[in-house]
Chains A and B, each alone.
Chain A
């Protein structure tokens, strides 16, 4: 056990525990807040693994944008404040879910542990894929996928807008038809 191992174990324990709380808590809003803790500490895990850039992007995009978006969606869908039993599926379904989740964990661990057993990386002299290497790779080898991703973001933005506008227009038409019929 080296120092990085111990730090990673501590941060990773917080990550796993808060992820578990975020899927089991009965408070709807607490679920999003535990997700925030989990994603934030996962950024810490990336830092311990020597990937500062990925950790910072994780903080910016996940903690800064996605969790805030989830909180906004919860507020716009009138999430109940306080414990709420109706957010979970029935007990037998939760048992099946727990069994399947545990099976996923066991399967992945059984696959990955032999793969990574005994592999150690010396990160103290800088990670092999440090930030300069990432920059050169993104704007060299990966430049076309990178450009494609910006198009994807634009399409997602337009798509989200179009979805909400389409339904609004359809509601307008149906309400107009209804008001014509009614008098």
Chain B
């Protein structure tokens, strides 16, 4: 026997903490941690609602499994984008405004030279190319 109010309260708490984590962080990976917490709040709510009697097709746990799978796909792509951002700009601070121009400049004018960030570029490149 369990009262379903407690899981509902925990889901609300996790969602609020996740919103705070998204808004209070600058590092892109730590913002993703906040997103994960919000997703987990949704999962807990699905499980809670699914454990009420009379839910058809075992919808609660099955949809929770689906959301977990989608979260895995989402974080794979998100971390790839974060790594590319780090490789091109040298930082993953989302409050800074990086230069995200799409086209490679044909002839590098003296003023348009991107900021040098030698160490991370060399490091990751060597690893990927070998």
Contacts and interface: CB of A to CB of B under 8 A. Distances in A.
Interface of A: 2, 4-5, 8-9, 12, 15-16, 19-20, 22-24, 28, 31-32, 35, 38-39, 42, 45-46, 48-51, 53-54, 57-58, 61-62, 65-66, 69-70, 72-74, 76-79, 86-89, 93-94, 96-98, 100-106, 108-109, 112-113, 115-124, 127-129, 133-134, 136-138, 141-142, 145-146, 149, 152-153, 155-157, 159-161, 163-164, 167-168, 170-171, 173-174, 177-178, 181
Given A108-B12, A121-B2, A49 B47 contact: yes
Interface of B: 1-27, 29-30, 32-34, 36-37, 40, 43-45, 47-48, 50-55, 57-62, 64-66, 68-77, 79-84, 86-88, 92-93, 95, 104-108, 120-121, 124-125, 128-129
Contacts of B105: 174
Contacts of A57: 65, 68
A137 B57 contact: yes
B5 A97 contact: no
Nearest to A4: B2
A101 B23 contact: yes
A70 B75 contact: yes
B51 A49 contact: yes
B82 A174 contact: no
B68 A113 contact: no
A138 to B, nearest CB: 6
